[in-house]
Structure 1
Amino acid sequence: MSPIETGLIAFVLLFGLILLRLPIAFSMGLVAFCGFAYLRSPEAAFAKLANIAFDTISSFTFGVLPLFILMAHVIFQSGMGRDLYEVAAKWLGHQRGGLAMATVGGCAGFAAVSASSVATVSTMGLVSLPEMRKYRYSPALATGSIAAGGTIGSLIPPSGMLIVLGLLTELSISKLFLAGLVPGILEAIFYMATIFLLCSWRPALGPPGRRYSWAERFSSLKVVGEVVLLMALVLGGLVGGLFTPTEAGAVGASGALAFALIRKRLTVAKFKAAIVATLKTTGFLYAIFIGAFMMTSFMTATGIPAAISESIVELDVAPLLAILAIFLIYLLLGAVLDTTGMMALTVPVFFPVAQALGFEGIWFAIIIIRAMEIALITPPIGMAVYLVKSVAPDVPVGTIFRGITPFLAADFLLVMLLLFVPGIITFLPNWLS
């Protein structure tokens, strides 16, 4: 049996294990280990696994993960999400659909410091949904804005997904942060414009909320001063070359702890919860990385990534059509895999293909991040929908999906813009270079 045939059989077995609901890290590691043992020898497979595990866990570069994760959980426990939503609500809530816009704005701000889409959806769901219900918002618009807004966290730096993708592809994390900034802001603007158009067409969907005085609005900005300072420290230091991504994570985690303690928002119990959650998330991600790197080594040994790249180039199809096909594959994979699993499984295959087609790695990274986040709100699965369902158990899943539909249309327009105007993504990172 040829190496390529071995690799194809391994992929079939891998998807079988995933469909059986085995952890993806274990599935990738097991299939790659057995495949490597078949192609080389059991001794070579054991040596490869040991080297990958040691190099991953002992790497200084990978230290960026637990530090940014700790920052995210400290911010989550300290209640900054509520503060950000309240500021956005005071500035936007008096308009039609204003509270839904405030939810999107709060999601963008909270994502900028929490680095987690899951934390963003959970926090904003608990904070904004009661307020929108108070003013009799349409359940579809209310829940749809929370689910869609939560996906902004993938692009607004310091995004956890951008960090993971940077580690998988060896792209500059600083450049990925800059590349995601403008698309993330555009996404928030597109979502707010969608809400504005919906509520202009049907005002009953989002009645106006309370109007605050200008003094109250400007006074509320004091609350988010820490968030702005924390972002400036992390991103400014990275862009200015003052410290590495790992050091930026340390600055972010230390800053989040300091602000939480100064504002007396962090009890011993909350700090313990943040540490435990950080350890769990970090352990999960390290296991994913070890499995992914083992799978990458095995795939390279089979020659499948090179064969796929050569085949696509030889087909002489339009490069953008190939990218659209990859985009659709991510939407389909979103039905059975979480975003980390999708990245670990597909990046070793698709990233070389994009480079062979002549696309910039940074640009392709942002495109696939957006594809994975859209998959989180795409029927019939839409994992973010079920996160919203957990904080709004009385709202039918069908209603949430109906509320998401206009935001999916906005996503489609934004993706088309990013595909045909790549400079939106590449301008800032190229300027940094």
Structure 2
Amino acid sequence: MSETEEPSLLTQVVRNDAFKVTVLFAAIWALFYALSAFLGYPTYGVVATLRRVTFLAAVYAIAVLALNIQWGYTGLFNIGVAGFMAVGAYTTVILSANPGGSPPGLGLPLPVGVLGGILAAVVIGLVAALPALRLDADYLAIVTVAFSEIIRLTLNSPVLIEITGGASGFDNLPTSPVQSLLLSDPGSIISEPTAIGAFVFGLGEPLGLTRIVLINVVYTVGVLVVLLLVYLLLERAGKSPFGRVLKAIREDEVAAQSLGKNTQSFKVRAFALGCGLMGLAGILWYAMGPRASVVPANFRPELTFYIFIALIIGGAGSNTGSIIGGAVFASLLYEAPPLLSDVVVKLLADYNVTLPSAPGNVVTTVASADPLAVLAFLLANIDTLRFIFMGVLLVLLVQYKPDGLLGDRTETAAAVPISEDSRPAGSDAGGETDE
């Protein structure tokens, strides 16, 4: 194919980002459906498994997109992601929770609480950014992770137990918006459904799906819609003059300054935007929905590292890569290992293979030289070993695919692809000039 020849329709479809994301999610759903069906899960169990994987993929993708605007676009090394997610989640529940509960909330409408959580994350991001962005990347990383830990330890402090709930967390969570949408009494799962609820339950209950599963499915669909909106926002921002300046700062800040750009202002705005979206991810993940649990332990530094691994998998600087990285990490690295462990155990049981008791430590396991003992040890410690898998994958990615799956794609710095001839067909080589 010559350089000027238009690619075929099939080639355009395969190269399309929406096609890649759709194929990835279809493959993930097919894998988890097969694993769940093999384990003999009932219909509601299979649907619950698919929903859980989809939910985690979506919230991870939102958090990775937020980090991508900072690290992938601007080169700001923020490893305090978990802290800004905590600010969003805690602010939302404090603003929207029942005033009569413990700890008491302010009882404001949930949309106000969500907006307040996002704005609080933006403000805290600005407070951290104004002094920290004057530092080099290594020192910025130290400041952000320290800031994140200060936030977590403050929320964990017994001094603020009347406000945050301390180490036990904020148990007085606001009512799920989906339950308000589907049930006449959101506080009772067995209450009469609304018109929308009657429609949703009427579709799912004949298939053996419980109300809890259906409510969680609807919430996950809502999170996917939010993910799409965030993606479109950042795609538009990335192709705007604002986004092109951020990329210029990432490549050479001095060159951007020489062109008259106030790089400090752009970095502050990019950092604040990313922090606001991190707050949104924390709200959707922990303040509402099926995994609602606002506890300081949820916001440990390892959460930040998970999100960084997902960004590295997808490719820094690529919004589509951020979604792919979040989905791959949440499904294949986080959720799949325990399920695969159950599959192996079932296969062994089907073939009447009895595993010995798992050895107490890896030294004993290796010394035994018994393949079944090694397998028993691996299955018993799968939750711990998956962190080793993550580390090995990270090393391999950095070694062989440092740009990630989609991070090596070339991007135009101009608003239009200036390398292509955009003149109408049949136009002369000459023409009018601007002079």
TM-score (norm 1): 0.28
TM-score (norm 2): 0.28
Which structure: larger Rg? Answer: 2
